[in-house]
Structure 1
Amino acid sequence: MADAVSVIAAKRDGNTLDSDQIAWMVDAYTRGEVADEQMSALTMAILLRGMNRREIADWTAAMIASGRRMDFSTLARPTVDKHSTGGIGDKITLPLAPLVAACGAAVPQLSGRGLGYTGGTLDKLESIPGWRADLTADEMTRILDDPAVGAVVCAAGADLAPADKKLYALRDVTATVESIPMIAASIMSKKIAEGTGALVLDVKCGSGAFMSTLGDAQELARTMVDLGTDAGVRTVALVTDMNTPLGRTAGNALEVEESVEVLAGGGPADVVELTLALAREMVAAAGLDVDPADKLADGTAMDRWRAMIAAQGGDPDAALPVARHTHEVTAERSGVLTRLDARAVGIAAWRLGAGRERQGQPVQAGAGVRWHAALGDTVTAGQPLLTLCTDTPERFDRALDALTGGWTVEDGSAQERRLILDRIG
């Protein structure tokens, strides 16, 4: 039988852990038999020494085994989900889920709330009056089985990979979040336990992403694709740019508004491009022969959006919350916008009230940042470049501090943005 000290020492010394050691350690920690300080020593050893493919698969399997697995095998339609590693202005789930449902798939999208400067999908949708994130398994199945809906975006239940929740909280306070094996296992344990038949990953790369370099983003993508494949889930990953924020808004209700514009046939070109790219991957992974662009153009995706929101108690016709105070930032000179830093915009939106500093904190539905030019656009000195939105105007100064040096307007032209950097799987 394994014991915590020998497992920690083995990984500290660079050895490979066997399947029984990993299964015992994760289970014992979840039950409280292994102390926080012992698991924190092991996670630090993993951060420094790494894990091989089999170890990561075993770690993921142990976290899945700590809770229940969902089962959508009774559904008439194939299931496919998407996961993004998080970025600024990343509202893609909102138009994507109903669009893929309109193509004939069932989309069980388990999402989270934001922490820090990356926004949470549930926070965005909760700005819609009446909409609720917490659904039972029966409610999820009923909505997915409804031929008029077929998509659900909701919170993961506490009994889905509970080991991950406990481990993530520990890693957050012990400087061990950055371990690619543990990031991959954290994401994939929940996605595999969710029971989807296929999965498309959007791994962000750049200043506004968790993975700042292309190499790290590719390594994370490959690790997660391997985990999904080994677990029998058809998995593919796109590595996408997050040096520049997506669309024209960062904030909760602001991003819902922009998502509805996309579903109505408009919206920013980059949001449309990435939505369609991910939708095509999801439709293909589900084994369907449909072009999502047709469903976006003919209004079917918008119909599914309205049905999806209503099925979760929301009013798709209700007015969205609007911040009580705004502040405009103007261009200091004329020229071309050649850079808009995603991290700077994200921190500004967070400081305005769109995000939270700790779990459970409320967020402002109307807070955030709207930018009025995309990369390559010509701007004139004095024209509005950014609008900051908040209910608490005392937040403006700290938001403006975050934006200092966050964009560049200069003579010449912007380098063309390459949104999709790689495809893995």
Structure 2
Amino acid sequence: MLPQEIIRKKRNGEALSPEEINEFVGALSSGTLSEGQVGAFAMAVWFRGMDKAETVALTLAMARSGDTLTWSGIGRPVADKHSTGGVGDNVSLMLAPIAAACGLAVPMISGRGLGHTGGTLDKLESIPGYTITPDAQRFRKVVDEVGCAIIGQTGSLAPADRRLYAVRDITATVDSVPLITASILSKKLAAGLETLVLDVKVGNGAFMTSRKEAETLARSLVDVANGAGVSTSALITDMNEPLADAAGNVVELRNCLDFLGGRKTGTRLETVVLAFAAEMLVRSGIAGSLADGEATARRAVTSGEAAERFARMVHGLGGPADLLDQPDKHLSSAPVQLPVRAARDGVLAGCDARAIGVGVIDLGGGRRRADDRIDHRVGFSGILPLGTPVQQGDAIAIVHASDGPSAEKAASEFSAHYLIADEMPDPPAVIVARL
């Protein structure tokens, strides 16, 4: 196989055969392709797309590029959820332990930040000692005993995706439907799931900015996953403002602890978390209706059972046993914290969520190159939701930065990303559609 011939063929808009895709993915996982060739292939797909048959072939080839997991004898339905990425989207951190507390096994294979969006693994690496790449025996033990484990791709699990994922992040090829579909589902197929629920974000803070784009991606994901034997549904959710009231790594982890402690009720974040928990429970046969599933999930939070599962997962994967009781002992804080002040009286009526995600990267909390080290401490907290009345000088967020000049710059830019109006337009529904 000549990689450049496959790249040329896709560049010219021709369909690739399963054999060509298998050969290219094999070379990708073995490391025999240059980074330039990987980037050129991703860009050719971004411009020319792939039909359904090509996307299925790419997904299956990437899933089979390494080991696949099996969960026979675990005694629980095996389920997972995946998000296409947004700003302040830390749903997975709470959802996995909630689902585990409700009777599911959740072997969650997550990723790092991609483009302007935060990564679940980067947030978990804020916890001292947390092992994101445990060996298979430890991963299985934690899922068996706790019910959930959130980890990253090991070298043996979908290795082709791991390399392609890193290159997409730095070549502006993140928002390609075939590449997103194959990346997400290859990990999920390799993880041995029975059911899957997908969170497809839409809005100015998502990769899919229009509902049409989001529905196209959701349909691709659902069709390919169901075609591969995993019972799958998708919710399209709004991403026109940060989902949580924090964006960053440590700050979103602290937000997770507050949520599991029952201190984030009545928020958009709670609506999304409970909706996905209900979807997982119904699809897995534990709940008979979405209403029953949501009530079951809510009890898992209010009883403290979900928080306990999270604590046990953290400790089982190498983190401190007392994280929930003493977070300040273990989680680092940025040396500079600066309020972002409202520029005028009015109502927070709109924001550029993507720009806020980029702001986290500018502070050092994300990557510009695949090998960049990130500062887990930085980001934004206390972000007020749209629709909040404010007076000039009120704090609409808090910047967490490594130094004063960075904090001042981030605060000025954050303020510019918000529209303060005399009246609030009708807010969009947080759950836009279900497929």
TM-score, with length taken from structure 2: 0.89
Q: 1:325 to 1:25 in 2, by over 3 A?
A: closer
Question: 1:305 is matched with which residue?
Answer: 310
- Out of 175, 178, 184, the residue aligned to residue 178 of structure 1 is 175
Q: CA deviation at 1:260?
A: 1.6
Is 1:117–2:122 an aligned residue pair? no
CA distance in 1: counterparts of 2:333 and 2:9, whole angstroms: 55
Listed as ranges, the matches of 1:60-209 within 5 Å are: 60-146=59-145, 149-172=146-169, 175-209=172-206
The CA deviation at 1:275 is 0.4
Matched, 1:361 2:359: no
Residue 402 of structure 1 and its aligned partner are, at CA, apart by: 3.4
Distance 2:59 2:304 in 1: 40
Question: Can you give the 5+ residue segments of structure 2 that lack an aligned partner in the other structure?
Answer: 288-292
The alignment yields a C-alpha RMSD, in angstroms, of: 2.3
Measure the CA separation in 1 of the matches of 2:201 and 2:236. Answer: 6
Is 1:274 aligned to 2:279, yes or no? no
The worse-fitting range, judged by mean Cα deviation, of 347-356 and 245-254 is 347-356
Distance 1:229 1:328 in 2: 47
Q: Measured at CA, do residues 257 and 233 of structure 1 come closer, stay the same or move farther in structure 2, by a change above 3 Å? A: same
Q: 1:303 to 1:384 in 2, by over 3 A?
A: same
1: CA distance, partners of 2:16 / 2:250: 46
User: Would you say the 8 A contact 1:81–1:107 is kept in 2?
Assistant: yes
Which runs of structure 2 are paired with 1:332-351 in the superposition (5 Å)? Answer: 332-351=343-362
Cα pair distance change 1:45/1:388, threshold 3 Å: closer
Cα offsets for 1:252-308 (capped at 9, x unmatched): 221122212221222151111100001111112222125212222222212212222
- Quick one: distance in 1 between partners of 2:128 and 2:42? 41
Mean CA deviation greater in 54-63 or 398-407: 398-407
- The one-character-per-residue Cα deviations of 1:296-324 (angstroms, maximum 9, x if unpaired) are 22222122122222212222233232221
CA distance in 1, matches of 2:404, 2:114: 22
Aligned CA distance change for structure 1 residues 214 and 99 (closer, same or farther; 3 Å): same
Instruction: Indicate the larger mover: 27-36 or 80-89.
Output: 27-36
Q: Is residue 342–residue 415 contact of structure 2 (8 Å, CA) maintained in 1? A: no
Structure 2 distance, partners of 1:359, 1:33, is 18
Deviations 1:342-363, CA, capped at 9 Å, x for gaps: 1222222222232232234333
Q: Is 1:219 aligned with 2:227?
A: no
Partner of 1:55: 54
How many angstroms does 1:382 deviate by? 1.8
Worse-matched range after superposition: 170-179 or 339-348: 170-179
- For residues 12 and 198 of structure 1, the distance between their equivalents in structure 2, rounded to whole angstroms, comes to 35
Q: Which moved more, 1:150-159 or 1:292-301?
A: 292-301
CA contact (8 A) 2:175 2:208 kept: no
What secondary structure does 2:24 align onto? helix
Contact 1:370 1:388 in 2 (8 A): yes
How far is 1:73 from its partner? 2.3
Alpha-carbon distance in structure 2 between the residues aligned to 1:341 and 1:68: 40
Shift of 1:215: 1.4
Alpha carbons of 1:54 and 1:376: their partners in 2 closer, same or farther (altered >3 Å)?
same
Go from structure 1 to structure 2 and tell me whether the alpha carbon gap of 1:125 and 1:176 turns closer, same or farther (over 3 Å shift): closer
CA contact (8 A) 1:240 1:421 kept: yes
Pick aligned residue for 1:247 from 239, 244, 247: 244
CA distance in structure 2 between the aligned counterparts of 1:6 and 1:127, rounded to whole angstroms = 43
> Relative to structure 1, is the Cα distance of residues 176 and 76 closer, same or farther in structure 2, using a 3 angstrom cutoff?
same
| Distance change >3 Å, CA 28–CA 323, structure 1 → 2 | closer
Unmatched segments (≥5 aa) in structure 1: none
- Mark the CA change 1:348 to 1:35 in structure 2 (over 3 Å): closer, same or farther: closer
Aligned residues: 421
The one-character-per-residue Cα deviations of 1:129-181 (angstroms, maximum 9, x if unpaired) are 332222111111111111xx111111110121222233344445655443311
Give the structure 2 partner of residue 415 of structure 1: 426
Query: What letter matches 1:93 in structure 2?
Result: S
Which residues of 2 match residues 256-275 of structure 1 at below 5 A? 256-267=253-264, 269-275=267-273
Deviation at 1:416, TM superposition (A): 2.1
> Which one is further off, 209-218 or 13-22?
13-22
**Alpha-carbon contact 2:94-2:260 (below 8 Å) kept:** yes
The code of the aligned residue for 1:212 comes to T
3-state SS of paired residue (1:157): coil
Letter of the aligned partner of 1:258 in structure 2? N
- Closer, same or farther: CA 167–262 of 1 in aligned 2, 3 Å: closer
Counterpart CA distance in 2 for 1:381 and 1:190 is 47
Retained in 2: the 8 A contact 1:115–1:358?
Answer: no
Contact 2:167 2:370 in 1 (8 A): no
Report what 1:237 is aligned to: 234
After superposing the two structures, state which structure 1 stretch, 409-418 or 382-391, moved more. 409-418
Partner deviation per Cα, 1:325-375 (whole Å, 9 max, x = no partner)? 111121122111111321222222222232232234333333111235221
Partner of 1:370: 381
